Structure 1
Amino acid sequence: MKNIVILISGSGSNMAAIVRAAEQGRWGERLNARVATVVSNRADAEGLRFAKDHGIATAVVDHKGFSSREAFDEALMAEIDRFEPVLVVLAGFMRILTPAFVAHYEGRLLNIHPSLLPAFPGLNTHQRALDAGCQFAGATVHQVTAELDHGHILAQAVVPVLQGDSAEDLAARVLTQEHLMYPRAVAEFLRNLPL
């Protein structure tokens, strides 16, 4: 079985979309894959309850309990590696990962970013798109590299920027597309893995 580990920090809406797609698409039968565990850096992350309700193992590795980013990433890797994942999926995981962590999962670490990369890496993407006068915005699924919000692009979804949009309006429209695109990109990644 190909194990997927999903990392979250909050509501886990993209994680939930992936879990639902795995259930509805029968990934276990069709792709020999499953979401093996959901790990959060915050014990109060709402997404942990969703995962438990769907019979998925959960764990918390609280970044506040570590003296350095490197020590946290080492503990996080130890938790992830218990499941021998073929894929580690960042789904609203709000931590910048160390180069050692990224190197450890090279080629099997995915992220979703709420902009049409390479435009607007980092934070506040929706407001930045509005401030720049963009007519379109969107989201990008990409492989993670040591450089923030770079890496090979696997999928993108485009939404229009509407007159009068606030950053919140645009974020909600983009998030709807993220929930459709991320599960498809994960499934496609799994299909392309060697047997």
Structure 2
Amino acid sequence: MPGPCNLVVLLSGAGSNLQAMIDSFAHADTPVRIRAVIANRADAHGLERARAAGIETRVLEHAGYAGREAFDQALIALIDGFAPQLVALAGFMRILSPGFVRHYHGRLLNIHPSLLPRHKGLHTHQRALEAGDSEHGCSVHFVTEELDGGPLVVQAAVAVAPDDTPETLARRVHAQEHQIYPLAVRWFAEGRLCLSERGVTFDGQPLPASGHLIRP
């Protein structure tokens, strides 16, 4: 039987989605092995989470490079040293160059705190409230050259309460992120999820443009 799927996680901050993956893939029969965690900030708390779980860590700070493309080429070399089948962005606060995205086409996932295609970019919880949205949520998608625009895999929706603040809404959305991101990674590792010329397929069948939609 083939071994587990090697996963490299990129992050810049607290690493709560990394922790959800660590917890989800802790069992001996898991189809996923978190091979390494790479951060572009030496003070990223996610590195401590990884070390506590016995996962290799690396820091590659972008300040030492002449530009985005030079940094991304160094990052590719570092990632590929761990021979991953999948790379997951978990709060990696860098806009990736087209060359980086093409290099990992079909094996690069991201999680975004909105129901894409609504509210691409930053400050999504505040923007959802300002727009009067009745529901908000999070999305896992394959990464393409369009920022927050790649094909969707799975979304989780939460109802927006009349008294919600950006902080209360963020807490409920984060709880759903911690459910759907490990789920999407597991699907990929099990060979159920694929991005090809036909788009995203799940168990051999095309996924709708909205991906799987979960309403807890």
Task: Give the TM-score band, short-chain normalised.
Answer: over 0.9
- 2:55 aligned with 1:52, yes or no? no
**CA deviation map 1:135-184 (0-9, x unaligned):** 10000000000000011111000001111211111111100000011111
Q: Percent identity?
A: 53
Aligned to 1:180: 179
Aligned length: 190
TM-score scaled by length of structure 2: 0.85
TM-score scaled by length of structure 1: 0.94
Q: Which structure 1 segments of 5+ residues have no match?
A: none
In the alignment, the residues of structure 2 paired with residue 66 and residue 83 of structure 1 have an alpha-carbon distance, to the nearest angstrom, of 22
**CA deviation map 1:38-96 (0-9, x unaligned):** 00000000010110110100000001111200111011111100011100000010100
Aligned to 1:72: 71
What are the equivalent positions in structure 2 for 1:6-21 lying under 5 Å apart?
6-21=9-24
What are the equivalent positions in structure 2 for 1:36-51 lying under 5 Å apart?
36-51=35-50
Aligned to 1:4: 7
SS in 2 for 1:23: coil
Report how far residue 19 of structure 1 moved.
Answer: 1.2
- 2:26 aligned with 1:23, yes or no? yes
**CA deviation map 1:6-49 (0-9, x unaligned):** 0010010001101110104x3xx342x30000000000000101
Q: Which runs of 4+ in 1 moved over 2 A?
A: none
What are the equivalent positions in structure 2 for 1:1-195 lying under 5 Å apart?
1=3, 2-24=5-27, 26=28, 29-31=29-31, 33-192=32-191
SS in 2 for 1:7: strand
Q: Which amino acid aligns with 1:165?
A: D
CA RMSD of aligned residues (A): 1.2
Between Structure 1 and Structure 2, which shows a larger proportion of helix residues? 1
Q: Which structure 2 segments of 5+ residues have no match?
A: 194-216
In the alignment, the residues of structure 1 paired with residue 96 and residue 42 of structure 2 have an alpha-carbon distance, to the nearest angstrom, of 19
SS in 2 for 1:5: strand
In the alignment, the residues of structure 1 paired with residue 167 and residue 108 of structure 2 have an alpha-carbon distance, to the nearest angstrom, of 28
SS in 2 for 1:48: helix
